[in-house]
A and B are shown apart, each in its own frame.
Chain A
Amino acid sequence: MLSIRNLKKYYPTPEGARSLVVDVPEFRLAAGEQRALRGESGTGKTTFLHLIAGILAADSGTIEIDGVDIVALPESQRDRIRAGNIGVIFQAFNLLQGYTVLENVLLGMSFGPDGPSPVRARRLLGRVGLAHRLDHFPRQLSTGQQQRVAVARALANGPRLVLADEPTGNLDRRNAGEALTLIADACREAKAALLLVSHDERILGQFGTVRDFSEINQAAC
């Protein structure tokens, strides 16, 4: 469902030159597949995920999601595809602090094709064990609970692909293990493919298929 070819992304340097950050000749992810990418900080993993999510525009190459090349699309259509097909779990969770747990998930649905559904949002939050925290604000939750809200929000629109960027980076070992299990299970139940990047070997050890990001990204070599 995800097919990437000759993907390149440059960043401008302070000297005015261009620095190649992502150079991925080929990458594929099948529907429902779960894969982890290992890589140190600063190797372009987040940029890679942002390119797939359409948050960043690629300089060249193709990113096909279910046959649609999002690189060729204008930003507004990339936004629409992201809202309807891709869920993103951030390292810092990126929950909206001024909104309740339920509202965070409802907002995750708001930009998708079906719009917000309080029933579905409650069901998702129940799935991640937060049915009793719907009206709490993120600051009132533990770090592990915040992570679970982020997982529920990422799955809010029934995405075909979930991108997880260091999703356990802010969790202790026990919570990290539980979170990873939750993410993997929830994606499996939702029939969503999962692409996870991390540099945490403890977490990657629990993952079935792990590849070094440097093998994929020629720019990191």
Chain B
Amino acid sequence: MTIPLILYRSLRQHALPSLVAIASIALASGLLMTVWAVKEEAQDSFVNTTTTFDAVLGARGSKLQLVLNSIFHLEASPGNLPESDYLMIKHHPAVKTAIPIAVGDNYYGWRIVGTIDELFSGVEITPGRHFTVERGGRLFSADRKEAVLGSFAARRTGLKVGDTFHPFHGLSFDPRQQHADLYTVTGILEPTNTPADRVIWIPLEGLQTMSGHDPRLAHDVSAVLIQLRAPSAGFMLDLMYNRQGNRLTFAYPVGAIIADFFSKIDWFDRVLALVAYLVAVVAAASVLAGIYASMSARQRDLAILRALGARRRTVFGAVLGEAACIGALGACLGYFVYAGLFTAVAAVIRAQTGVVLALGAWHPVLWAGPAAMILLCSLGGIVPALKAYRLPVAETLAPTS
């Protein structure tokens, strides 16, 4: 009862500095967890998003740009490839599935992608799960000007089944670039938590033959998404397209390309982590400074406790326990900070990329971060605890007679 009572009363007596210290620890702990969890979760989610397809074939250029453009629907297309190249890869014996896509139009900034219905009927987003259209809708017909919207795009554009719209040329919205074609929404896709949710899907031929597009390129595609029959085939096709050929780029394996991308921006993670570490150290220092500054005010109390028979190690433990207690309270509140920050960051990432980060996912940092903060705070409490340990009782209890 003694130490908990002393801790409780001491925290209450020094409520303001304690609250400031707890808040700074919560911020530091939350920041630390968010930086690590977002980094890990983003990398996992981006890599997992690519597991649907093994490779992407596109125009000669950057593999990363090709993957970002065709799977994440980010960046510009590196160029087109002729229909003959699509047909060739489609009929290659090592290829299980080949889905062509064409890009180049938008609807108020939301990317319009032309493709074939096999993407929706034949491809599993995750094992055993296909794209499904919400009740009341259906997939587009390949020979009509019809569109199916990803769930996020539908929510943000406000388009519903039966609505019509005019696409705009280009990947960025320009009101002067409106096409004359009128498309009808036939369905909204169930959420997939992938970048596909941010896309307006139309028939491949519709995008290829959109009014104003160059008729000479009417059969070109922007990229081909590929599923292989066996991983070894990927290396063979890599050799064929990337080493022996010079017209096309075969991005394989897609997961490794994304992982490589993350390793290239690892410096950014390190900067964020460094900031989080610095915040953590500053927070621990604030605990030290807060308790140390209040030591003059609490010296008399500690001396009285000593006069009542408390041993040096008891008052040392009480001060150290107070620092650890501040750390623990801050670490607990840090989970709320983490939840808030993570949710905000995840919302931004989802809005920008369609990739969903799961808040509930477990990472070692979720225990290691708070534990480190408690340890740091305890270390910060050692100096004032030593001061309490060395307290001269008789002098502090003056007056004398």
With a CB–CB cut-off of 8 A, which chain A residues contact B397?
A: 55, 90, 94
Q: Is A33 an interface residue (CB 8 A)?
A: no
For window 9-62 of B, CB contacts with A under 8 Å fall at 9-10, 12-13
Q: Is A76 an interface residue (CB 8 A)?
A: yes
With a CB–CB cut-off of 8 A, which chain A residues contact B310?
A: 79, 83, 110-111
Task: From B2, B393, B401, name the one whose CB has the most chain A CB atoms within 10 angstroms.
Answer: B401
Q: A199 CA to B305 CA in the complex, in Å?
A: 27
The stretch that binds B, out of A12-20, A95-103, A124-132, A185-193, is: A95-103
B307 with A55: CB separation less than 8 A? yes
Interface string of A92-129 (1 = CB under 8 A from B): 10111111000100111011100010000000000000
Interface string of B291-305 (1 = CB under 8 A from A): 000000000110011
For window 298-357 of B, CB contacts with A under 8 Å fall at 300-301, 304-314
- Nearest-neighbour CB distance to chain A for B291, whole angstroms, equals 15
With a CB–CB cut-off of 8 A, which chain A residues contact B311?
A: 76, 79-80, 111
Given contacts A82-B309, A94-B397, contact A110 B12 (CB under 8 A): no
Q: A21 CA to B69 CA in the complex, in Å?
A: 89
With a CB–CB cut-off of 8 A, which chain B residues contact A92?
A: 399
Q: A62 CA to B261 CA in the complex, in Å?
A: 78
Q: A110 CA to B2 CA in the complex, in Å?
A: 6
The stretch that binds B, out of A23-31, A45-53, A203-211, is: A45-53
A56 with B394: CB separation less than 8 A? yes
Q: State which of B13, B305, B400 has its C-beta within 8 Å of the C-beta of A107.
A: B305
Q: Is B265 an interface residue (CB 8 A)?
A: no
With a CB–CB cut-off of 8 A, which chain B residues contact A157?
A: 309
Q: State which of A95, A98, A103 has its C-beta within 8 Å of the C-beta of B10.
A: A98
Q: A112 CA to B314 CA in the complex, in Å?
A: 13
Q: Is A158 an interface residue (CB 8 A)?
A: no
The residue of chain B having its C-beta at the shortest distance from the C-beta of A113 within the complex is B309
For window 32-89 of A, CB contacts with B under 8 Å fall at 39, 41-43, 45-47, 50, 53, 55-56, 75-76, 79-80, 82-84, 88
Q: A45 CA to B399 CA in the complex, in Å?
A: 11
Q: A53 CA to B306 CA in the complex, in Å?
A: 11
Task: From B12, B301, B305, B308, name the one whose CB has the most chain A CB atoms within 10 angstroms.
Answer: B308
Q: A96 CA to B305 CA in the complex, in Å?
A: 9
Q: State which of A47, A75, A103, A199 has its C-beta within 8 Å of the C-beta of B394.
A: A47
Q: State which of A75, A95, A165 has its C-beta within 8 Å of the C-beta of B401.
A: A165
B309 with A98: CB separation less than 8 A? no
- Nearest-neighbour CB distance to chain A for B25, whole angstroms, equals 23
With a CB–CB cut-off of 8 A, which chain A residues contact B401?
A: 39, 41-43, 45-46, 91, 165-166, 169, 197, 199
A46 with B400: CB separation less than 8 A? yes
Q: Is B1 an interface residue (CB 8 A)?
A: yes
Q: State which of B1, B9, B306 has its C-beta within 8 Å of the C-beta of A110.
A: B1
Q: A116 CA to B6 CA in the complex, in Å?
A: 13
B393 with A111: CB separation less than 8 A? no
Interface string of B368-401 (1 = CB under 8 A from A): 0000000000000000000000000110010111
Q: List 13 A-B contacts (CB under 8 A).
A: A43-B401, A45-B401, A46-B394, A76-B311, A76-B312, A79-B310, A83-B309, A88-B307, A92-B399, A94-B397, A98-B10, A110-B2, A157-B309
Known: A75-B312, A79-B310. 9 other contacts (CB 8 A): A41-B401, A53-B307, A84-B309, A91-B401, A98-B9, A106-B5, A107-B2, A111-B311, A111-B314
